[in-house]
């Protein structure tokens, strides 16, 4: 075996281990973020909350601090050790999740969730940047897709653990049970993961370039494809977070599931479907994108065309088995976008802009998706209660699904603008 092949194998092992550990961190991110979703009916009954308050708690308040803290942390990550930032962030958000179990009223719980949001702001943008230095451009869609499956591993584990622990010991114990292990894993991550060389796959000049915040914003502003895809991801997440955060309540209220049953059903047919869709999105984009980079945007556009009409039977039928089946397909389709959009966004910028580019993309995604999605569903459900009674939530979710449909057009517009933006990037590199 030659020295170069040994180094390549070593590099592959380091990259593979790093990707695995980052994916586990992302799973903790969504266990701690989404545990509230499976517990919200119990919390609502215990504290006497409205659906609008639940939407504010699980969406807007969290998203506001998440996106506000995300940009300065990402700018810092583009200049310092990303592994250390991620380890510290994991310890903070996991600790605040455990503290959520001690909340005595709505204000306490709101403050704890704000703390979770501040911690989680330091997770994904530095991780995206590390992955783009672990893997070459032609493998980034798959790698970022694998990383993004951590969302659904986290959702799966959060639903199972949250449902079962809540039924057995109460919602407070569930928060503590998922928060404390994350603090321990933060130490393991810090001691075992290797920080990759920044700009490993680019020229020395690109790798050495250290843009200011203003230069980064100016460059991103010049790419129409980036802004089209950013808004498209936000609208897709608007339906994903809005309806996903209320899916347990929908199944409990409209189909008679228990909390434990909902945890298992959503873990398998929600988390499992999301995991499959996220991986397939990145994998297909990498394979099809060899011939034409626009496939990185056509894949989520085509998936959206499938998801929107199937949302109607998912939310309007009364047959449990049919509802779960349609939910499975819709969830797969709605989750194909993240890996391809991250990969193509990173291809538009130099290495020292990647964490910040992810933060800007996540700013738009989370403000529209996480910030407004659950809050809109909650407000509409409260409003529709005067007209549809116990069916108010299903019609609120249906409305949000329809409102997200312009994302399909925006993905196609982004694909149309992409070749010109990539040509501008190549000319600037020369």
Q: Could you report the per-residue pLDDT of 337-370, keeping only the tens digit for each?
A: 988 998 899 889 888 788 888 888 988 998 898 8
What was the pLDDT predicted at 2?
A: 46
Average pLDDT over residues 362-379: 87
What distance in Å separates the CA atoms of residue 224 and residue 301, rounded to the nearest whole number? 17
Chain centroid to CA 391:
28
Q: CATH number for the 13-197+212-424 domain, one of 3.40.50.1360, 1.10.357.10, 3.40.50.620, 1.20.1250.20?
A: 1.20.1250.20
Instruction: Note the pTM of the prediction, 2 decimals.
Output: 0.75
- Residues with Cβ within 8 Å of 324's Cβ and at least 6 positions away in sequence, in order, are 265, 269
5 pLDDT above the threshold of 50: no
320 pLDDT above the threshold of 70: yes
Average pLDDT over residues 246-256: 89
What distance in Å separates the CA atoms of residue 36 and residue 49, rounded to the nearest whole number? 14
pLDDT in tens, 212-224: 778 888 888 899 9
pLDDT in tens, 387-405: 999 899 999 999 999 999 9
Tell whether the torsion through CA atoms of 16, 71, 99 and 29 is positive or negative.
negative
Position 284 confidence tier, pLDDT thresholds 50, 70, 90: very high
Position 208 confidence tier, pLDDT thresholds 50, 70, 90: low
What was the pLDDT predicted at 199?
A: 76
What is the residue extent of each domain of the chain?
A: 13-197+212-424
What is the residue-averaged pLDDT of the chain? 87
What was the pLDDT predicted at 296?
A: 95
Of 44-58, 183-197, 248-262, the range with the lowest mean pLDDT is: 44-58
What distance in Å separates the CA atoms of residue 209 and residue 223, rounded to the nearest whole number? 19
Task: Please name which of 288, 349, 285, 336 lies closest in space to residue 125, comparing C-alpha atoms.
Answer: 349
- 21 C-beta neighbours (distance < 10 Å), count: 19
Average pLDDT over residues 17-43: 87
What was the pLDDT predicted at 241?
A: 86
What distance in Å separates the CA atoms of residue 430 and residue 421, rounded to the nearest whole number? 14
Angle (deg, nearest 10), helices 171-192 and 137-169: 150
What was the pLDDT predicted at 329?
A: 94
Of 90-94, 103-107, 262-266, 327-331, the range with the lowest mean pLDDT is: 262-266
24-27-30 Cα angle (round to 5):
155
Round the CA-based radius of gyration of the chain to a whole number and report it. 21
What was the pLDDT predicted at 358?
A: 85
Chain centroid to CA 265:
20
What was the pLDDT predicted at 32?
A: 83
18 close to 134: Cβ distance less than 8 angstroms: yes
Percent of the residues in the chain that have a pLDDT greater than 70, as a whole number = 94
34 close to 99: Cβ distance less than 8 angstroms: no
Task: Please name which of 149, 371, 342 lies closest in space to residue 233, comparing C-alpha atoms.
Answer: 342
Position 12 confidence tier, pLDDT thresholds 50, 70, 90: confident
What was the pLDDT predicted at 3?
A: 38
6 pLDDT above the threshold of 50: no
According to DSSP, residue 353 is labeled G
Average pLDDT over residues 402-425: 95
Task: Please name which of 252, 276, 251, 249 lies closest in space to residue 153, comparing C-alpha atoms.
Answer: 276
What was the pLDDT predicted at 203?
A: 63
Average pLDDT over residues 283-290: 91
What distance in Å separates the CA atoms of residue 81 and residue 294, rounded to the nearest whole number? 33
What was the pLDDT predicted at 72?
A: 87
């Amino acid at each position: 075996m030659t020295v170069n092949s040994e180094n390549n194998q070593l590099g592959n092992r380091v990259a593979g281990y790093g990707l695995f550990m980052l994916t586990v961190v992302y799973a903790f991110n969504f266990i701690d973020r989404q545990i509230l979703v499976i517990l919200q009916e119990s919390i609502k009954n215990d504290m006497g909350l409205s659906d609008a308050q639940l939407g504010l708690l699980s969406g807007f308040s969290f998203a506001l601090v998440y996106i506000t803290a995300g940009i300065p942390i990402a700018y810092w990550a583009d200049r310092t050790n990303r592994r250390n930032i991620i380890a510290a962030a994991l310890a903070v958000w996991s600790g605040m999740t455990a503290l959520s179990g001690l909340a005595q009223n709505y204000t306490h719980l709101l403050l704890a969730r704000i703390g979770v949001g501040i911690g989680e702001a330091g997770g994904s943008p530095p991780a995206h940047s590390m992955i783009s230095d672990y893997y070459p451009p032609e493998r980034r869609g798959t790698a970022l897709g694998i990383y993004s499956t951590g969302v659904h591993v986290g959702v799966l584990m959060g639903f199972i653990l949250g449902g079962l622990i809540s039924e057995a010991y109460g919602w407070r114990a569930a928060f503590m049970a998922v928060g404390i292990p994350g603090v321990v894993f933060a130490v393991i991550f810090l001691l075992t993961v290797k920080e990759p060389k920044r700009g490993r796959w680019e020229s020395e000049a690109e790798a050495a370039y250290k843009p200011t915040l203003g230069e980064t914003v100016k460059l991103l502003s010049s790419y129409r494809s980036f802004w089209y895809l950013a808004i498209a991801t936000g609208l897709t997440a608007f339906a994903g977070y809005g309806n996903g955060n209320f899916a347990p309540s929908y199944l409990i209220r409209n189909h008679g599931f228990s909390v434990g049953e909902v945890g298992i059903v959503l873990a398998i047919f929600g988390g499992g479907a999301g995991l499959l869709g996220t991986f397939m999105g990145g994998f297909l984009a990498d394979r099809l994108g060899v011939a034409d980079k626009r496939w990185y945007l056509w894949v989520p556009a085509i998936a959206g065309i499938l998801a929107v009409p199937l949302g109607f039977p998912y939310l309007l039928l009364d047959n449990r088995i049919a509802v779960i089946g349609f939910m499975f397909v819709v969830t797969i389709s709605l989750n194909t976008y993240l890996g391809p959009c991250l990969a193509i966004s990173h291809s538009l910028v130099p290495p020292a802009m990647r964490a910040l580019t992810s933060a800007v993309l996540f700013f738009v995604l989370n403000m529209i998706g996480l910030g407004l999605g659950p809050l809109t569903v909650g407000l509409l459900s409260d409003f529709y209660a005067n007209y549809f009674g116990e069916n108010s939530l299903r019609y609120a979710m249906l409305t949000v699904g329809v409102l997200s449909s312009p994302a399909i057009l925006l993905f196609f517009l982004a694909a149309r603008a992409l070749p010109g933006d990539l040509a501008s990037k190549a000319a600037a590199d020369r």
